[in-house]
Amino acid sequence: MADSRRGWRWGARALAIAGAVGAGTGGVGLAVIAGSLLREAYRYPRPVQDGPDPMLQAPPHTKSSVVAASDGTLLHVVTSGDVDRSDEILVFVHGWTCNTGFWNAQMQHFGDRHATVAYDQRGHGLSELGKTRLTPDVLGQDLQAVLEEVIPDGKRAVLVGHSMGGMSIMSWAAQFGAGMEEKVSAIVLTSTGAFTVVQRQLLIPEDLPAIVRPLEPYVERAFVSTALPLPTNPVSERLTHYIALGPVARQAHVDFSDEQIAACSPTARAAWGAAMYDLDVRPGLGKITVPTAVVVGTQDRLTSPVHAEELAGVLRANGVLHSLTEYPGAGHMVPIERSGPYNRLLGAILDDVSEAKSS
């Protein structure tokens, strides 16, 4: 009962915010849309109560350092293993509102066998936001700075990007992709898209009254670019579950995702959200020349399988598609929700790279 009371109090606040955002442009309609989102979140199944997921614990034996981006902004980097002795180095690039902890399950799994690297996108985690105007180009430039610093001469990276991290890889390919085979052996694009990502999200219910449909773009833009602090409470968990995970999700995964999102700086979240609204990294997708795997959850509301199919179509036409993998029932947080099979996929990609190198 207490959960319900807190939920509807928070819901009323959400409606008030929606109305304020839409003042003069249909505040009541926006409130209706916000209310429909809250309704759908409360219709979602309750998470599975099966205890903690040990894979989400921070990996042992990691080292932290900083890398200076091209504009001097300091980026926080976490490494495990010996990059000087590993032929292929896994480089993990997290998505919007997350941080290096997003990859705990992967760094735990591979950390004692392969060198791994993860970094906080600028403004996320322990990385500085800097003063440069945030654009999709900056995503690729920051990745380039990390690669230049942490990948030794003669070694290659397997780039693994989730959501905005996948967009970072495509941005990098557009700007620095010439001769990428020398530094990159494979790419994994997870739960991501190349263009009109915000505009094609599946969060807003389809049964809205026709009169409020024209207001959807306002909600889409407000969703990604409003710099409001996000709470961590029973209602935020409901919303995180609906927005970011599949319908049947573990409580541990919902809690972990909710904490990741709430920990992100509101300023950085809004600035990067605004930058993604007009994102188009298709030129970089077309410049990828190494085997590339595409991964998506069938219940992803943020970057639906339509985006994965578009990515795979371009990669297939260019002869570099490694695989297209869909995880039934998974939402946007595939590396968390399906860490076991996802890690096995990464292992298979590493094996394929090694085999190709020796043949």
Higher-confidence position of 32 and 236: 236
Region 92-116: mean pLDDT is 95
Cβ neighbour number for residue 174 with a 10 Å cutoff: 19
Q: Is the pLDDT of residue 358 over 50?
A: yes
What's the whole-number average pLDDT of the chain? 90
Q: Is the pLDDT of residue 282 over 70?
A: yes
DSSP one-letter string for 307-320: HHHHHHHHHHHTT-
Tell me: the pLDDT tens digits for 6-50?
444 444 444 334 344 444 444 566 677 777 888 899 999 999 999
Q: How far apart are CA 107 and CA 68, in angstroms?
A: 23
Given a contact cutoff of 8 angstroms between Cβ atoms, the answer to whether 99 and 242 are in contact is: no
CA angle 24, 222, 308 (to 5 degrees): 140
Region 209-222: mean pLDDT is 73
Tell me: the pLDDT tens digits for 294-312?
999 999 999 999 999 999 9
Structural domain 59-196+277-358, CATH architecture: 3-Layer(aba) Sandwich (3.40)
Q: Is the pLDDT of residue 249 over 50?
A: yes
pLDDT at 19: 40
Q: Is the pLDDT of residue 228 over 90?
A: no
Q: How far apart are CA 257 and CA 56, in angstroms?
A: 10
Task: Locate CATH 3.40.50.1820 in the chain.
Answer: 59-196+277-358
pLDDT at 231: 76
Q: What global pTM score does this model have?
A: 0.91
Region 193-203: mean pLDDT is 93
The one-letter code for the residue type at 189 is: L
